[in-house]
Amino acid sequence: MDERQRGILKEIVEGYIKEARPIGSKHLCDKFNCSSATIRNEMAFLEKLGYLEKNHISSGRIPSEAGYRYYVENLMEPKELTGEDMLKLQTIFNNKNLVVSDAIEEALEIISDITNYTSISLGKESSLNTLKQISIIPLDEAHIVALVCTDRGIVKNKQFNIPDNINLQEVVKTSEIINKMLVGTPISRLAERLEYEIRPIISQQVKQYETIYDIFYNAFEDFVSEKGNFHVVGKTKMLEQPEYNDSKEIKKLIGKLEDENSIRKIEKNNDDKDISIYIGKETEFDDNVTVIKTNYSLGGEEGTIAIIGPKRMEYDKVVGLLNILNKWLEEKGE
């Protein structure tokens, strides 16, 4: 492929990404100072190579999956953010009160708004975590929050109503017993150890122990039942793309975005690159989307961040955003 052919392919990919309609020869003549016949010949050559496809309702061409792949590997350059978008992210990154997982989730909210794509954060499954601490936070005389923290930095909380006959100090005392005996226990084994080791102890030391026991059992049970520890932002953003004007396609995509097993396929796609791009059939998630993702490991917390969009995705913009997110994560780890 010569320089002009590479330039034409780049122009067609970026033009189709922007306009969502096939690119014809007239669009390219002035750009490359060529006749329509010359451009058509070059487009036919690129189609023969498998980089372009002919749309049946138009004489124009659209990129194939191979064309997108060639583009991201050879022609694309990451896009710099506008000052306004960078400021939105910096506000999150500079907030010292946010734990890493919360900062990532808030950053993904912003990225989803900037790109109009769906953003996902995928932590390691809860079963891989061990208990670091459980804390009881009083809200008022009738309500508390049980805060469960793991060794990998995952924090979950649940609010409980406290009956009039329950002494808050008894609840706190039970949390101290649990912290003394169960710290370091895998999350998947907490309910079992709570039943057979903690319950006999608090039955002798705590009044109304059954009600208090239920508080902690429910807190742990909810944590384990949230196996996925994943967060999906902007599920409906994808539906704003012109590719999704068919009710069956919409239903299929939303179903996958709500299904943990489908989302976990994104995590399984893995390689050593800082940022990985999976197009169409490569994704194992859905043949009609692109997934751009990065993995992170910070302070014992590991996970995956992914952006899902149509194959006609603004690759340069998404890669630029994930580069910024990766840089922040690297700085946090120093």
In this prediction, residue 257 has a pLDDT band, given cuts at 50, 70 and 90, of confident
Q: 242 with 20: CB under 8 angstroms?
A: yes
pLDDT of 228 over the 60 cut:
no
DSSP state letter for 196: I
CA–chain centroid gap for 149, Å, is 21
Strand, helix or coil at 130? Answer: strand
User: Would you give the DSSP letter of residue 72?
Assistant: I
Say how far apart CA 305 and CA 193 lie, in whole Å.
Answer: 33
pLDDT the model gives residue 279: 95
CB-facing half-sphere around the CA of 214: CA atoms within 13 A: 8
Nearest to 168 by CA among 203, 139, 130, 191: 139
| pLDDT higher than threshold 80 for residue 288 | yes
Residue 226 has pLDDT above 90, yes or no: no
Distance CA 126, CA 128 (A): 5
* Backbone φ/ψ region at 50: left (φ over 0), alpha (ψ -120 to 50), beta: left
Pairing of strands 131-140, 143-150: antiparallel
3-class SS of residue 61: strand
Which of the two residues, 284 and 117, has the higher pLDDT score? 117
User: What is the predicted pLDDT for the residue at 5?
Assistant: 95
Residue 227 pLDDT > 80, yes or no? no
User: What's the pLDDT tens digit per position in 8-38?
Assistant: 999 999 999 999 889 988 889 988 999 999 9
Asked if residues 216 and 223 have their Cβ atoms less than 8 Å apart, the reply is no
Q: pLDDT tens-digit profile of 122-162?
A: 876 555 678 999 999 998 888 998 888 888 767 777 888 88
Q: How does DSSP assign 18-35, residue by residue?
A: HH-SPBPHHHHHHHHT--
- In one-letter notation, the amino acid at residue 298 is L
Using one digit for the tens of pLDDT, what is the confidence trace for 61-113? 999 999 999 999 999 999 988 888 899 898 888 887 777 777 888 899 999 99
What pLDDT, on a 0 to 100 scale, did the predictor assign at position 119? 93
**pLDDT, averaged across the chain:** 86
Q: Which residues are bridge partners to 121 per DSSP? A: 231, 305
Q: Give the C-alpha distances (Å, rounded to integers) separating 113 from 89, 293, 294.
A: 12, 17, 19
CB atoms within 10 A of CB 83: 8
Domains along the chain? 3-75 (1.10.10.10), 83-125+229-333 (3.30.450.40), 129-225 (3.30.390.60)
Contact of 147 with 158, CB cutoff 8 Å: no
Q: 293 by DSSP, 3-state: which?
A: strand
